[in-house]
Amino acid sequence: MADNVQEELTQYNQILKRFDAFYSGLAKLCGLTDCVFWIIYSILDSPEPLTQTELCSTWSLHKQTINTALKNLETDGMISLRSPEQNRKNKQIFLTEKGRAFAQRTVIPYMEMEQRAFGALEEEERKEMLRLNQKLLALLQTELNRHTDF
């Protein structure tokens, strides 16, 4: 039994690494770093304006990595940062006209491709895949908490 579990875990981890490589490849095709790709993707995907803090927590990226990427995007004229009235500390991120045009040529076609591929799965398959991945992540976190102070 344990041998089977280790074999399956190895296969699962290899699949995850292929997903990472796949999305890194998409970013590279767009001429972007992984971080910048996910920032633009997130802005496009979110119905509400995002802040740096939200990007960090949603995508599990380091604050400094996001901050550097945002500064570069702002310098390149791809995004603008604006403070909402109620919270001047957390600036919201918006694509500029230049950023939207760039996203239209680069990131959006890959988002549409991704939607077609994911949509080709049956609804129950999608739900089950999400459920099982969330369950595994929770179990891994529980195991980690048993052995560390995280």
Residues 67 and 140 in one domain: no
| Rounded CA Rg of the chain | 18
Which residue range forms the structural domain that includes residue 149? 120-150
Q: Could you identify the residue written with the tokens 């040529």?
A: 105
Confidence tier at 83 by pLDDT (50, 70, 90): confident
* CA nearest to 82, candidates 45, 56, 38, 43: 43
- Shared domain check, 134 and 110: no
Q: By C-alpha distance, which of 130, 138, 38 is closest to 52?
A: 38
Instruction: Note whether 112 and 128 are same-domain residues.
Output: no
142 shares its domain with 106: no
Residues 51 and 83 grouped into a single domain: yes
Q: Indicate if 16 and 75 belong to the same structural domain.
A: yes
pLDDT of residue 90: 83
Mean pLDDT for 113-135 is: 98
- How many domains are there within the chain? 2
Do 81 and 142 belong to one domain?
no
Q: What gap in Å lies between CA 125 and CA 80, rounded to an integer? A: 39
- pLDDT tens, position by position, 7-25: 999 999 999 999 999 999 9
**129 and 59 part of one domain:** no
Say yes or no: 142 and 132 in one domain. yes
CATH number for position 59 = 1.10.10.10
Residue 150 has pLDDT above 60, yes or no: no
